[in-house]
Amino acid sequence: MNVEEHLRGEVARHPFPLLFATISGAHLYGFPSPDSDYDLRGCHLLPAREVVGLGLGRETVESSTTKQGIEVDLVTHDARKFFAMLLKKNGYVLEQLYSPLVVQTTAAHDELKAIARGCVTRHHSHHYLGFAETQWRLFEKESPRRVKPLLYVYRVLLTGIALMRTGQVEANLVRLNEDARLAHVDDLIARKLAGPEKSTLEDSDLSFHRREYERLRTELEAAHQASTLPETNSARPALNDLLVRLRVETAASTHG
């Protein structure tokens, strides 16, 4: 069994219809290690009986499987929850929605991607600043210090800067660094791709990366101030209409 077969199999076993399923995590970010698992993310649609009654349906479905050494971590959210997350300046769901590593898609996926452009605001910078700070603290406290959390620091800061400047979601660090041209980032990616034997850093590297972290934070804050992105999202009515239509279509197909 190859990776594509495994991923398609996980999608096929999902208990609910999927609007989309994409690959996130290290494979999306451009620096998977040889032993990296596959982070499969998506949006499902609960049947009408699980959203109109007194009880709550399975808003989130999670599973983890390993077959022939291929580990897949799957997380999907019901459309109502996923749409609500899009409206909350959540960079994670934007990256999942626009991931080019598509395992399953639908016409509704394309429609959602078009609508979600109206969810992007200049305040998404706060998501990336917060995530970078969390990853930096993890990196700084480790002994020995690993390449992985440091790569996440650079990835989220450069993603945030690009989003503020262009309005486009780019999560792949390799492509982001084509513009940033940071030689040390290319070196870190090469270390991560090589596997565990090169996955740690010397303590002497800490001060350099701290300066770079602070410089890029300042750059992201400046990009936020200069951004022409809107202050607030405009997608709520369209998201609501899409959700209602999907629920009606699901109910009709169930009773058709």
**Measured distance CA(144)–CA(79) in Å, rounded:** 41
Both ends of the chain: CA-CA distance in Å? 37
For residue 196, the model assigns a pLDDT of: 75
For residue 200, the model assigns a pLDDT of: 85
Any idea what DSSP says for residue 18?
A: E
**Measured distance CA(144)–CA(200) in Å, rounded:** 6
Q: Between the CA of residue 248 and those of 48, 61, 256, what are the distances in Å?
A: 8, 22, 12
For residue 142, the model assigns a pLDDT of: 92
pLDDT digits (tens, 9 = 90+) for 67-106: 888 899 999 999 999 999 999 989 999 999 999 999 999 9
The answer to whether 40 and 77 have CB atoms below 8 angstroms apart is no
What are the beta bridge partners of residue 24?
39
For residue 204, the model assigns a pLDDT of: 81
For residue 220, the model assigns a pLDDT of: 98
Low-confidence ranges of the chain (pLDDT < 70): 1, 197-198, 254-256
For residue 55, the model assigns a pLDDT of: 74
For residue 69, the model assigns a pLDDT of: 86
For residue 33, the model assigns a pLDDT of: 87
For residue 1, the model assigns a pLDDT of: 60
Any idea what DSSP says for residue 36?
A: P
> Please, which contacts does 80-85 make with residues 24 or more away whose CB atoms are closer than 8 Å?
80/46, 80/51, 80/243, 82/43, 83/239, 83/240, 83/242, 83/243
Per the structure block, which two tokens stand in for 122?
């200049």
